[in-house]
Each structure stands twice: as structure tokens, then as C-alpha cells.
Amino acid sequence: MPHVTHVTAPLPSGSGAADPGAERRVPTLADVVGVLEHLYDPAWARDWDRVGLVCGDPAAPVRRVMLAVDPAASVVEDALDWHADLLLTHHPLLLRGVHSVAATSAKGRIVHQLVRAGCALYTAHTNADVAVPGVSDALARVMGLTDLRPLLPDLDPAGQPAGGRGLGRIGRLAAPTTLREFAMLVAEVLPASAQGVRIAGDPGCVIESVAVSGGAGDDLLAAARGAGVDVFVTADLRHHPAGELREEVGEAPPFLIDVSHWSSEWPWLAGVANRLEGELEAAGSPVEVQVSTRCTDPWTFRVPSPGGIVR
Ligand SMILES: [Zn+2]
């Protein structure tokens, strides 16, 4: 079964549109990286992060680009089967320092496969999280949230909000709904995962303001509480941080919705595909872009507790 889907980009209009008579050329990796770094400036990444080109020759031509959340072996295999020239992933392959990329480790094998096939690997991670639009904008939009603003704004050296960027997003639903109904919507609009959707709070409570953060959101629990939102949607919430927040607030908001990490970040890829296709088309150097639909969550199945309580 193919694990990719084609995303059709709207043709750019206005002064930036390509002249139909103009010569079209195949972009180089440097051209494509230039567009990506305009969308997701590496300078926006957190200090601990490692973003940008992992492997690849900037002078090499790029005709096909695959987008995915994780540089997992299965994704790399799909990319190479499709003859991708560039694989763009959200998560870094090599976040921590390495002294070897020998093909004796999983990561080393991936580097070898990519280099051998002439496929570049590029990472846009926390710089894509804070960008506008970024990873959490996409997550908020699929849930129908509007009036989006950062949950934890980036500040410039003068302490002022930096270009509307920041981690997480706060928004509003079009109309108040119950926590149960909203959780069902979240489960419906996000790609399926073995984990499903876990909720902390009374299902009958009415909610309207929502904070979201794609990926692991433990660090933003206090910000979500401080922002006074009704519910916080994120991934990878752990027992102690989540339990302690719920103990502090009692029956009150914020309620918590925990989704799979991969599901929370995957919606971002469609927007990247559209922007990348649109900008390169406008520059007269189009590329084919595909979004990988392969679920790369490590969890592959779930057994419901037979005596569990389902409310
Ligand atoms: Zn992530």
C-alpha cells in the first residue's frame, strides 16, 4: 500500500506567478533550501535543536521532494522507492552529537541509504514550530480554531513579541461545545494512531477556548493554565506533570487532551507542500512534492482494559 499522498498546490497568482513563456528549469538543492529557510529560518530554532541540511549536495538537481514527520527507515524506503531527491522531515535524524555514521546503527544505515541514492535530508524542527504559519497553526486549523496567537510568544532582544512567532497556539472554537464532543472532533480530524485520544476532565464540561501544541507539550502545561484556556491539546503528556496540574485545578479548566505525537504534527506537512510547490512554481523551477502518510509513532497497537471505565 502506498504511504504517500499527492498534495496539489494552488497555482500562484499576481506578480509572483511564473511567466508561461519563461524558461523553466530544475531547481538545485540550494534553491529548495533557500525557499525552506525563508519559510523556516534556522535562526528561529531553539538553542538545543539541530536543523537544516543533514546530507546532500547543494548543487544537485531536485525534482521530487517527500515530506514526513520522522526520518524513520520505513519513510526513507518510501522516499527512495519514489526516487525522491530530497526528504524533508520535522524531526532531526542526528539531534545529539555522533562520532560515527557507520552502517552498523539504524541512523548510520539511513545516512548510507540516502547518500548512496543521492537523496538529501533536511530538517525543519523547532524553527517550524515557532514559525507563522507553523506546526501548531496547522494543528489548530484542523480543529477549526480561529483568532490564533502564540501560547508562549518568542521575544526579540528588546523583550517585545517577535513577529507573532512562538510555541503553541491559543484559539477559539466557532461555538462552545462539550469536552466530549470536542475530543471526538479531535479524534476525527487527526490521522489515526494506535494511541487514540486521551482526555482528562469531565466530558460534559463546556469549552470554548483551546490551546494546542504539536509534539510533546509537558513544558507548556503551566503556560496553558496561565492563559486561562478551557482545554489544552498536545502529545506525550506524562503522569506526574498532567496529574499535578489536574490536582491543582480540581474540577476546573484547563482540561487536557493527549493525542499521538505523530498525529499532532502531521497536519503541518500539507501546508509545507503547498508553500514549497507554490514558491518554486512561481520561480519557474517546479518540483513534485508528496506527503508521507506512513504513521511513524512507535506504538503499533493498543489493548483496551476489559474492566476499564468508558464514560
Ligand atoms: Zn515532534
Ligand 1 centroid from CA 69, angstroms:
8
Cis peptide before 153 (omega within 30 of 0): no
Look up the pTM and report it: 0.91
| 127 within 8 A of 44, measured Cβ to Cβ | yes
Ligand 1 centroid from CA 264, angstroms:
8
Ligand 1 centroid from CA 249, angstroms:
27
State CA 77 to chain mean position distance: 21
Ligand 1 centroid from CA 91, angstroms:
6
Ligand 1 centroid from CA 32, angstroms:
23
Give the pLDDT confidence of 33-89 residue by residue, as tens digits: 999 999 999 999 999 999 999 999 999 999 999 999 999 999 999 999 999 999 999
Three cell numbers, residue 304: 483496551
In angstroms, the CA 226 to CA 151 distance is 10
The DSSP line for the chain is ---EEE-PPPPP-GGGSPPTTSPP-PPBHHHHHHHHHHHS-GGGS-TT---EEEE--TTSB--EEEEES---HHHHHHHHHTT-SEEEESS-S--S--S---TTSHHHHHHHHHHHHT-EEEE--HHHHHSSS-HHHHHHHHTT-EEEEEEEEEE-TTSSEEEEEEEEEEEEEEEEEEHHHHHHHHHHHSPP-SS--EEES-TT-EEEEEEEEEEE-GGGHHHHHHHT-SEEEEE---HHHHHHHHHHHTTSSPEEEEE-HHHHHTTHHHHHHHHHHHHHHHTT---EEEEE-----S-------TT----
Angle at 285 between CA 37 and CA 283, to 5 degrees: 65
Ligand 1 centroid from CA 216, angstroms:
6
Ligand 1 centroid from CA 111, angstroms:
20
Ligand 1 centroid from CA 49, angstroms:
12
Tens digit of pLDDT at every position of the chain (311 positions): 445 555 444 434 444 455 555 689 999 999 999 999 999 999 999 999 999 999 999 999 999 999 999 999 999 999 999 999 999 999 999 999 999 999 999 999 999 999 999 999 999 999 999 999 999 999 999 999 999 999 999 999 999 999 999 999 999 999 999 999 999 999 999 999 999 999 999 999 999 999 999 999 999 999 999 999 999 999 999 999 999 999 999 999 999 999 999 999 999 999 999 999 999 999 999 999 999 999 999 999 999 888 766 66
Q: Which residues surround ligand 1, an ion (CB under 5 A)?
A: 215
Three cell numbers, residue 5: 499522498
